[in-house]
Structures are given as structure tokens and as C-alpha cells.
Structure 1
Amino acid sequence: MLWVKAFHIIAVICWFAGLFYLPRLFVYHAMSEDAVSRERFKIMERKLYRGIMMPSMIATVALGLWLFSYAPEAYLQAGWFHAKLVLVVLLLIYHFYCGHLVRVFRDDGNQRSHVFYRWFNEMPVLALISIVILVVVKPF
């Protein structure tokens, strides 16, 4: 079980690296004014989303389900676990919305300013703080 937990934590770290960095790329992409920069950001966004974020998200979910399988009754009775699941579902929605935004930028369809993406970039930070507190402190 400890090996599964270790690899789950590694996958979470890799996933969050992408969740933190991709919206930052959106900030810079929204600010870019020349075609060369825009094309470079398109490549970076696509590679980050497909090459790092998707595999890390899949590994995170798969390993999390594996951990859950060790003691489903205990997890289902824990209030903190239900709250964590809600946050994970919201992160999954955020993740796939980022994928949508990668396609919007790819198609030169972005209508939002860099300020929007600066705020958008903060959402996974709040989720991470909340999830770590729930898992470590188990407040309820």
C-alpha cells in the first residue's frame, strides 16, 4: 500500500505542476502580440496538456482508486473524504476546461484578457491547500 501511496503522491505533484503552469502559459499567450510567440505558446500548451497533464491526471485517479480499494468502507464513512472527492471532481472539471482552452487558443479564438487567466490560475492553489488539509488533518 505504501508504494501505491508514494506513486499517487508523485502523480499528484506532476498533475499539479501542469495545473499551475498551463494557466500561466494562457496568461502569457493572451498577452502575446506577434505570430511567432502565439505559435510557440500553442506548442507549449499542447505538449504540456497532452504529455504531462493527461498522463499525470490518469495516474492520479487510477492510483487514488487503488488506494480507495484497500478500505472503501472506512473512506466512505469519513466526512473529510467526501469533501476531498468534491474537490477532486472540481479539479477534473478544471483540468478538462484547461484542455478546452488549449483548443480555443490553438484556433485563435481566445476572447479573454490576461487578467482573467491570472485569476483562473489561482483556483488549483485553493484546491491543493484544501485537499492537503483535509487529508492530513482530517477535520471531520
Structure 2
Amino acid sequence: MTSSTPRLVFLLNAAQRRLQQLVTAEQLRLTTQALDAPTPAQGGLLFALHTLDGQTMGELSLALDLAPSAVTGLVQRTESQGWVIRATGDQDGRTQRVWLQPAGRALIPHLRGALKRINSRITHGFTPEELAVVGRWLGHVQQCGNPPETP
């Protein structure tokens, strides 16, 4: 590795920590507005359902890039807040679909505002072309999947 090669793993981890700080600040902002602020994962679930309501747990697992067991817990916690509800599918009694409730739908504009503020801060000073490259690279990293098996 040459000295001009960016320390991508370090930079990505450090950036994730800073991003989490921004998200936490936005959660606090929502809380001061007398709103129950969803966690980032809960916000992702609400956005996924706002885009396509009534998704199955499997569909949500793919949409959120989470293990099915993680989606189950996430839906349970979000359901306990009254933001979503699970119901058995019409065609198959084993399939559960998740539906956005009015309380969850009411959070969407607030979450959009929070994302707009975060995106404005993290993209400031970059051209659309530069951001396209960053987006492409992050998508590539996401698609890399599991590390290769070691012998």
C-alpha cells in the first residue's frame, strides 16, 4: 500500500461514527419537539413501508438489508410504539405483512426533514459528479457481501 492510498476502512468507520452523531442529534431535535423519535432502524422501516405498505417480513429483510431475525425484533419494537402493525397474509396464514399505522405515517415528514438536514451537512462542498462516485463506491462496498472464507 502506498502512502497516497486512502485508508478506506478507517475513513469509512470514522465517517460512520460521525454520521451516527448527526443522527443522534436529529433524534434529540425530534424529542425536543415532543415526538417519540424512532431509532435509525425504525426510521428505515417506516420509510420502507411508506414507499410500499404491507410488505412481508422477508421483503422488509431485503429492503433494509437485515437478517430476518433482526427484522422480526425491529418490527416488534416498532409495533409496540404503535407505528406499525403486523397481520397475517390473505393467501398464506404463515406470512405476516407489516402495515404503517397513522402514528408512524405522521413521523415521515419529520424524518424527511431530519434526513434533509443530515444530507445537507454531509454533501456540502461536493459536486453531483463526486457524490455519484461516492454513492457508486458505497453501493459496491455494500454488495461485497461476506468476507471470503479462510482455509
The structure with the greater share of residues assigned to strand is: 2
TM-score, structure 2 normalization: 0.32
TM-score, structure 1 normalization: 0.34
Q: Say which structure, 1 or 2, has more relative contact order (CA 8 Å, 6+ apart).
A: 1
Q: Which is greater in Rg?
A: 2
